[in-house]
Chain A
Amino acid sequence: MDAVYLLFILLLSIFVGFELIQKVPATLHTPLMSGANAISGITVVGALALAGSDTMGEYAAYLGAFAVFLATINVVGGYLVTDRMLAMFKKKQ
């Protein structure tokens, strides 16, 4: 039953994603990509539980910590570079 519930969430968020992103104009496609990239760094949340846990073993904790490191690059780098780009999009003075 758990799997079905997770699939429900997947299905609904894919639909929401399609609806939202179709409305993004071509001008913003590059920031959209780097912004989406930052969002995919959400893996960090999963990695945190693995890195900090003492039930999974030391080996798993180190692998999790490396995942935290990688995903943090994604999150921090992604959001900052997107912000840097979006700050340049200006209206005519």
Chain B
Amino acid sequence: MIETTTTDLIINFSYVLAAALFIFGLKLLGHPSSARKGNFLSAVAMLIAIVVTMFDNNIVSFQIIAIAMLAGSILGVFAARMVAMTAMPEMVSLLNGIGGLASLFVAWATVAGTSDYGVFTMVVTFLALLIGGVTFSGSLIAWAKLSERITGRSVTFSGQVVFNSVLVLVIIFAAYLFVAQPAMVAGINIDFNVVLYTAMALALLFGIMLVLPIGGADMPVVISLLNSYSGLAACAAGFALHNNILIVAGSLVGASGIILTNIMCKAMNRSLSNVLFSGFMPATKTDMVIEGEVKPLSADDAYYVLEAAQSVVVIPGYGMAVAQAQHAMKELQQLLEENGAEVAYAIHPVAGRMPGHMNVLLAEADVSYEQLFEMDEINKRIQNFDVAMVIGANDVVNPAAREMKGSPIYGMPVINADLAKNVFVLKRGMASGFAGIDNPLFFKPNCRMIFGDAKETLGSMIRQFSD
């Protein structure tokens, strides 16, 4: 250890201050009115941490740092300015991945000069390498799935379970070689760099194998989990470098991701292992037949019902994001309110492709957050609503979750749209949701289907109101 100097003391005191600001910032993130300030405090904490680190006596060359930071800042500003709100899930996955890769490189740099450390440091360095690598490649696959560069469906091949099990064993063996000095296999001494590169390749492969079998509807869980990993990777890097602020900040992020993962799993009535491994299980089939017929309705006829309605609840799903219908919905909301109706929005926790996806889209369209209600709040009074408008949502309003034992989503908490007096389902066609399950809601006597692009449908309703 290097002896403690005054500079080290100042640096560490500043880290304490930064940690306090991170925590206080997260606390302010607990309410929409103070959240922006919270994010700002968190950014100030980061700035303090970065600036004081520059005073570290070990840092002698600043040129390369300046270039790296400038390039990173330019890219960061560019990405943050350019991204469309509908593309937030892709953006967050990419950022998760970059964070993971940064931790991988920190771990790599730690052992690049010398691998002559104690067992503890080598174990945590390996963890940083592994978690960082998994986060990076896993996030890239998640990003490709979300942006539909590869199929959003679960990707499986025969022997995948065996392959993954072998992969885990090989990773454990690689970890042993990484930590054991010198690395010996069957009496032959293996170069440390060979072990290092193999470990990185294995970590990247593992991330790909982890996310490939997960289908598009489960993406909220995957993004939350990868978010958590990006924090844990920073945490492991903090252990490797014996840096407190990395551990504090990394574990805050890790905890945040785990909580979100848990919320998402609960909202789908599934366990995390079920989400991660269900791609391997045979699809459950029900022989239950849904009776009744689908009754289509034109947007013009729907207008007459809306005009008479005293209260309307809007239930958005991923389809609203795809159709970019949030602005049209806000316009219709204003017309309905001028007409004397109460308009509420019901948001299911897993609506969309990431936690809170719908809330951001509606905020972008200037819908007040006070009009957005969580599932439990709205379900208590859903029978009082004259009209429930389902826009591009499917599985989250599927009454099969309540009534059809044996349905794959039986037991999942859903928004009980079918209990409202009238239900309008704005939908492109009769295709089933991402889960691939039939929706008995469409066959209920109080349900009308308004086929077509949600934005155009809402547009023609708006025109009717203006006439």
Q: Which residues of A contact B (CB under 8 A)?
A: 2-3, 6, 9-10, 13-14, 16-18, 20-57, 59-93
Contact = CB atoms under 8 A, between A and B. Distances in A.
Do most interface residues of chain A lie in helix, strand or loop, or is the interface mixed?
helix
Contacts of B214: none
B91 interface: yes
27 contacts: A10-B239, A10-B251, A17-B251, A28-B30, A28-B359, A29-B354, A29-B355, A32-B356, A33-B257, A42-B46, A42-B250, A45-B50, A46-B240, A48-B59, A50-B110, A52-B58, A61-B64, A63-B105, A65-B64, A65-B65, A67-B109, A69-B69, A70-B99, A71-B102, A72-B68, A72-B76, A91-B369
Given A20-B27, A40-B231, 5 more contacts: A40-B230, A49-B56, A71-B72, A74-B99, A80-B77
Contact of A77 (B80, B224, B253): B80
B455 interface: no
Interface string B30-74: 111101101110110010011001101011111011011101110
Interface residues of B, number: 113
Nearest to A35: B39
A18 to B, nearest CB: 5
A24 to B, nearest CB: 5
Contacts of A59: 112-113
Given A27-B372, A75-B46, A92-B370, A18 B259 contact: yes
A86 B49 CA distance: 24
A64 B88 contact: no
B98 interface: yes
Given A43-B234, A55-B58, A59-B112, A26 B363 contact: no
B56 A6 contact: no
B105 to A, nearest CB: 4
Contacts of B96: 37
A88 B370 contact: no
A47 to B, nearest CB: 5
Contacts of A66: 68, 105
A30 B102 contact: no
A73 B254 CA distance: 19
A89 B161 CA distance: 44
